[in-house]
Amino acid sequence: MMTTITKTRAGRLGKRPPRVRGSINAKAPAHRRDAALAWVLIAPGLVGFVAFVAYPTLRGFYLSFTDFRVLTPPTWTGLDNIIELAHDGVFWNSLLVTVYFVAISVVLGTAISIVTAVILHRLTASSVIRGLIILPFLISGVVAATLWSWMLDAQLGVVNVLVQHVFGHPVMFLTTRAWAIPSIAMISIWKSMGYNAIIIFAGLQTIPSSIYEAGRLDGASEVKMFRYLTLPLLRPILAMVLILSIIGSFQVFDIVQVATRGGPANASKVLQMYIYQKAFGQFDFGYAATMSLALFVVLIVITFLQMRLTRASESDTN
């Protein structure tokens, strides 16, 4: 009898717990509830994206192959707008003016932003100074252009007062062909420099200090460490800053519209201004959509090439 009781207890203690069938399916309702909640949360953003990004993009792509003048329905014209674009001298002049503006604003703006970020990283940690540096970025482009138009005025501008005091004569910054685009580029640099500097400053904080200590032990100067350590390690951040700067510079409109209105003699008529004049001045929305499509293709190509050349997805800190 004792043997039987022992076997029974051992069987009870060693008995495996019963399997619960459908345990995976029991969690399915919770997963479905989570998915439903996720769709509810992203629905506003998704609706906004479809209404204000996806649909206008597809609609603009369609209108670029039509003759559309608002008061009449669009008429399909095929490649007529593209053929007209290829022979439009004003378009190519506006594109060259835009490229000139982009070259000045991106090169000088990025260089000034890097220097500013390094100074912030090495000399000060004050949040007040960082806030003052990023403050121009928070100002509207119209306000910035108006302010600088007054400051660069040939008669009463404070900048020309200083220039005349040093050189003996004022400079027509916004009313001559030679100075129009460089002046607008400097306004754009002043406005966006703080934002880019803060991004680069954040990238500098991710670089381990041990790398610079090793460089000092090897006898490297500050200039060499900046060239061979800081810049390579900042490559992903700099690539992002360059891409955003190029895209933003190609889309410049408000500063040009307020400061020069495309003058003098189309010297500062950037591509965005020409698109605006065609669309809202001549109501030729079909041809304006074609130019917008061409600008979109140019930006896609430039961004792709830049990401490939700078290897933006790679980091030397790994």
Is residue 69 one of the residues assigned to a domain?
Answer: no
27 assigned to some structural domain: no
Q: How many domains, the chain?
A: 1
- DSSP annotation of 283 reads -
Q: Residue 57 falls within a domain, yes or no? A: no
Residue 306: φ, ψ to 5°? -65, -40
- Give the pLDDT confidence score for residue 31 in this predicted structure: 66
- pLDDT number for residue 314: 62
Phi-psi region for residue 284, left (φ > 0), alpha (ψ -120 to 50) or beta?
beta
**Residue 306, in any domain of the structure:** yes
Query: Which tokens go with 177?
Result: 């062909």
Q: What pLDDT score was predicted for residue 75?
A: 92
Which range of residues forms the domain containing residue 172? 90-310
Structure tokens at 317: 């800190």
- This prediction has a pTM of 0.82
DSSP states along 228-296: IIIHHHTHHHHHHHHHHHHHHHHT--HHHHHHTTT-STTTT--HHHHHHIIIIIS--HHHHHHHHHHHH
- What CATH number did the domain enclosing 134 receive? 1.10.3720.10
Per-residue pLDDT of the chain in tens (318 residues, 90 and over written 9): 444 444 454 445 445 555 545 444 445 566 677 888 888 899 999 999 999 999 999 999 999 999 998 888 999 999 999 999 999 999 999 999 999 999 999 999 999 999 998 888 877 667 777 778 888 888 888 999 999 999 998 888 899 889 888 888 888 999 999 999 999 999 999 999 989 999 999 898 888 888 888 888 888 888 888 888 888 888 889 988 999 999 999 999 999 999 998 888 889 999 999 999 999 999 999 999 999 999 999 999 988 888 887 765 565 555
Phi, psi for 76 (deg, rounded to 5): -65, 125
- 3-class DSSP string for 150-185: HHCCCCCCHHHHHHHHHHCCCCCCCCCHHHHHHHHH
pLDDT of residue 317: 54
pLDDT of residue 22: 47
Across 133-164, b (16+ Cβ under 10 Å) vs e yields bbebbeeebeebbeebbeebbbeebebbeebe
d(CA 277, CA 272): 9
Of 147, 125, 127, 126, the residue nearest 136 (C-alpha): 147
- The verdict on residue 58 lying in a domain is no
Cα distance between the two ends of the chain: 71
Q: Judge whether 34 lies within some domain.
A: no
Determine, yes or no, domain membership for 10. no
Task: Tell me if 37 is assigned to some domain.
Answer: no
Query: Which of 33, 118, 123, 64 shows the shortest CA–CA distance to 289?
Result: 64
